Amino acid sequence: MDFSEAITIWYFENKRDLPWRCTNDPYKIWISEIILQQTRVAQGLSYYNRFIEHYPNVKDLANATEDEVLKDWQGLGYYSRARNLHFTAKCIMDKFEGVFPKTYEDVRSLKGIGDYTAAAICSFAYNQPYAVVDGNVYRVLSRVFEIYTPIDSIQGKKEFSKLAQELLNPKKAALHNQAIMDLGAVVCTPDSPHCEDCPLNEMCLAYTNRTFAKLPVKEKKTKQRDRFYYYFFIQNGDKTYLHKRGDKDIWKGLYEFPLIEKEEELAEDEILHLHDKNELSEFSNLKINRIHKSIKHILSHQRIHACFIECTATYDKAKESQYLEISIDKIDEYAVSRLTELFLEQKG
């Protein structure tokens, strides 16, 4: 039995019943793939269902506002992906007359769609012979063939794509791709793979040689940058204040409380005088009522240490301001980062 046969037989018996598996609508497959790049299946399911309910087709997504799309994406992180979804839906309306493109080249040309997503859409929706290579596939292939080339090197990317393409059964591209991804997710897991239950164990070199814990190899260690955020949750009667984040930084387009960012962590007495130095100048009579314990929030290249400060103040509407005055009980209508959402949940 060859590689493709072994995994597809296993897949028939073990496949997970997921809504995006029961469709060949490229729009739905695209939405599911972008969501699943962010999260595990269990959490992704509710986001997928909400997206499809709110935007059942490309046209509905294109007609939504960016704020609406970001609100539905809230909590998933990597908000540029949500903005790209929205941008690309508009582009499909303009350039492809609202019909999802059908060739790999056209699909790959869309913003936010890389090699992996283009292969997933073209194989799942149209059964075109493009092999997917995601984290699960890298893991399975590096172990079965005991390949030590780093998966994040240029050479590694080429080598694994070539191998994945050679192994693909072109007549059963959708099935083969789904099978290898599921096998990586469920059986060939990063820690303690279930080799005894694996349909590839007879041909797997890492199993024979007991080397699976060393594979796959990665060469780059991501550098982490620490940032210290001091958020002012200002209450002015039943009003509070939000700011919309701008370009060239994390969380573009999301809303947040007035923020002062520092290079290092501040002591409590420094926090008490933080707003004196001409920052937050739109607010007067600022009185701090509570300084919350700092929350650490890890992103791919950054560690955000966020301290939320509850205070009261008056607001000088006459000054030109970057802040939006809103009713506190309307705050749920604004898309915020998972960090701010956590604070609001904890605060109750």
Least distance to ligand SF4, CB of residue 141, Å:
9
Structure tokens that stand for 67 in this block: 């704020």
- The catalytic residue among 13, 33, 196, 282 is 33
Residues in contact with ligand SF4 by CB under 6 A are 140, 143-144, 187-188, 193-195, 198, 200-201, 204, 206-207, 212
Q: Burial level of 259, CB count in 10 A (0-12/13-18/19+)?
A: middle
Nearer to ligand SF4, 181 or 204 (CB): 204
127: left (phi over 0), alpha (psi -120 to 50) or beta: left
Nearer to ligand SF4, 210 or 220 (CB): 210
Nearer to ligand SF4, 83 or 143 (CB): 143
Least distance to ligand SF4, CB of residue 211, Å:
9
Nearer to ligand SF4, 25 or 146 (CB): 146
Least distance to ligand SF4, CB of residue 182, Å:
12
Annotation marks residue 5 as catalytic: no
Nearer to ligand SF4, 6 or 34 (CB): 6
* Distance (Å, whole) CA 245 – CA 228: 16
Nearer to ligand SF4, 3 or 104 (CB): 3
Least distance to ligand SF4, CB of residue 144, Å:
5
Catalytic residue positions, numbered: 33
